[in-house]
């Protein structure tokens, strides 16, 4: 029994526990998570004892090979087929996740008798099984190795966009499928913009370089940020960097099974605030990483998820001095009962 079949059974058990008869699944990420199949135009109907897959004819052989435990229904009109199956099985307690469903599609499901039920699959996606952990670890190692290869190539006159293209190409050469998000390369004052759009700007002597990047390996993401000074660092940069570095390390060490996500955020935020830079830390401390680059749990002031063994999250505090420079240090880590595993170190 493979990991996807196990998940199917785990979700069916949860349906029974929640006294629901069926779950409609529309998200392509959730589709892959449950079946191992990854194509648009497919919807799943999971009942307490069976998985029904509504797919286009061209995917039939591929899906049958990937997910032999599911019953395949090839459709002409997908919503009509789903409705027919619901009527045939006389299903009443049907749910779907409105957060990953288009408005018009949600209306159709409601007309079929389904009810919104947010986050049914999220708790499963937060906890990574061994195979997932290994894929995320490999993705992180590829990104970390790429940084070591590219850093020596960063010199005066090189453009941000050139480094972005180079590191993405290097990650693919090392085995990645593609980048996991739009690569951020920021020189000088651009580094003070947390989500700077990589530009044609050239690096000058004695400037900050901030690099935020990641890749996808076997559909699993990595996320890493490194900041350094090209040339002779200023006293102000060294001061800010040491504060962010301390905040990041303390938050990483604090993150373990049983603590709350907002408590981890507080560790980093308090250190930065106590040193006089609290107003310049303008985002959350981290987020979950898996099939998506941003997923549950979120590590910020508003989130109170209890961390569990097997969760993979980022820790990425930052300080941004507009018009001057910014510093962000980010690692992807895996939660354990004690000290977390830092996946972006090699």
The tens digit of pLDDT for each residue in 37-57 reads 998 899 999 999 999 999 999
Last residue of a domain, one of 69, 97, 125: 125
C-beta neighbour count of 278 within 10 angstroms: 14
Statement to judge: residues 319 and 203 lie in one domain: yes
SS3 300: coil
> What mean pLDDT is reported for the chain?
97
144, 162, 164, 165, 263 from 159: Cα distances, Å: 21, 5, 9, 10, 39
Statement to judge: residues 117 and 195 lie in one domain: no
CATH of the domain at 176: 3.90.230.10
Evaluate if residue 214 carries a pLDDT over 90.
yes
Distance CA 86, CA 40 (A): 22
Statement to judge: residues 138 and 73 lie in one domain: no
pLDDT score for 1? 81
Alpha helices in 218-293 (DSSP H): 235-254, 261-274
Evaluate if residue 323 carries a pLDDT over 90.
yes
Q: Determine how β-strand 207-213 pairs with β-strand 22-25.
A: unpaired
Statement to judge: residues 86 and 233 lie in one domain: no
Statement to judge: residues 239 and 210 lie in one domain: yes
Statement to judge: residues 82 and 138 lie in one domain: no
Statement to judge: residues 190 and 210 lie in one domain: yes
Statement to judge: residues 137 and 278 lie in one domain: yes
State the DSSP code for 191: G
pLDDT in tens, 261-289: 999 999 999 999 999 999 999 999 999 99
Last residue of a domain, one of 81, 101, 125: 125
Q: Full-prediction pTM beyond 0.85?
A: yes
pLDDT score for 45? 98
Statement to judge: residues 150 and 230 lie in one domain: yes
Last residue of a domain, one of 80, 109, 125: 125
Closest CA to 334 of 307, 309, 312, 317: 312
Mean pLDDT of 217-230: 98
Band (304; pLDDT cuts 50, 70, 90): very high
Evaluate if residue 123 carries a pLDDT over 90.
no
| Count of structural domains, the chain | 2
pLDDT score for 264? 98
Statement to judge: residues 58 and 206 lie in one domain: no
CATH of the domain at 63: 3.40.350.10
What is the span of the domain harbouring residue 90? 3-125
Statement to judge: residues 232 and 301 lie in one domain: yes
Band (146; pLDDT cuts 50, 70, 90): very high
pLDDT score for 346? 78
Q: Determine how β-strand 94-96 pairs with β-strand 114-116.
A: parallel
Q: Which two tokens stand for residue 56?
A: 């286009």
Evaluate if residue 69 carries a pLDDT over 90.
yes
Statement to judge: residues 121 and 134 lie in one domain: no
Closest CA to 198 of 180, 213, 178, 217: 213
């Amino acid at each position: 029994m493979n990991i996807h079949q196990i998940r199917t059974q785990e979700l069916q058990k949860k349906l029974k526990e929640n006294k629901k008869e069926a779950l409609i699944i529309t998200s392509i990420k959730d589709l892959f998570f449950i079946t191992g199949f990854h194509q648009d135009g497919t919807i799943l109907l999971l009942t307490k004892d069976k998985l029904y897959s509504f797919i286009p004819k061209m995917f039939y052989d591929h899906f049958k090979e990937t997910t032999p435990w599911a019953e395949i229904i090839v459709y002409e009109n997908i919503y009509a087929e789903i409705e027919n199956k619901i009527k045939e099985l006389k299903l009443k307690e049907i749910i779907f996740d409105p957060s990953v469903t288009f408005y018009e599609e949600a209306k159709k499901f409601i007309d079929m008798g389904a009810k919104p039920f947010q986050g049914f699959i999220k708790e499963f996606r937060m906890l990574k099984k061994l195979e997932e952990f290994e894929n995320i670890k490999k993705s992180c190692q590829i990104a970390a190795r790429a940084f070591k290869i590219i850093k020596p190539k960063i010199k005066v006159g090189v453009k941000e966009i050139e480094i972005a293209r180079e590191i993405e190409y290097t990650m693919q050469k090392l085995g990645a499928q593609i980048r996991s998000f739009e690569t951020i390369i920021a020189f000088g004052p651009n580094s003070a913009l947390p989500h700077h759009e990589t530009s044609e700007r050239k690096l000058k002597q004695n400037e900050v370089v901030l690099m935020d990047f990641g890749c996808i390996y076997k559909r699993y993401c990595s996320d890493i940020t490194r900041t350094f000074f090209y040339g002779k660092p200023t006293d102000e940069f060294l001061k800010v960097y040491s504060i962010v570095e301390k905040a990041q390390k303390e938050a990483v060490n604090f993150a373990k099974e049983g603590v709350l996500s907002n408590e981890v955020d507080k560790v980093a935020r308090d250190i930065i605030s106590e040193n006089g830079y609290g107003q310049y830390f303008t985002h959350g401390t981290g987020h979950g990483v898996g099939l998506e680059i941003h997923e549950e749990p979120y590590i910020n002031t508003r989130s109170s998820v209890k961390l569990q063994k097997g969760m993979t999250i980022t820790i990425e505090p930052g300080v941004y001095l507009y018009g001057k420079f910014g510093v962000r240090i980010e690692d992807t880590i895996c939660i354990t009962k004690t000290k977390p595993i830092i996946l972006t170190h090699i």
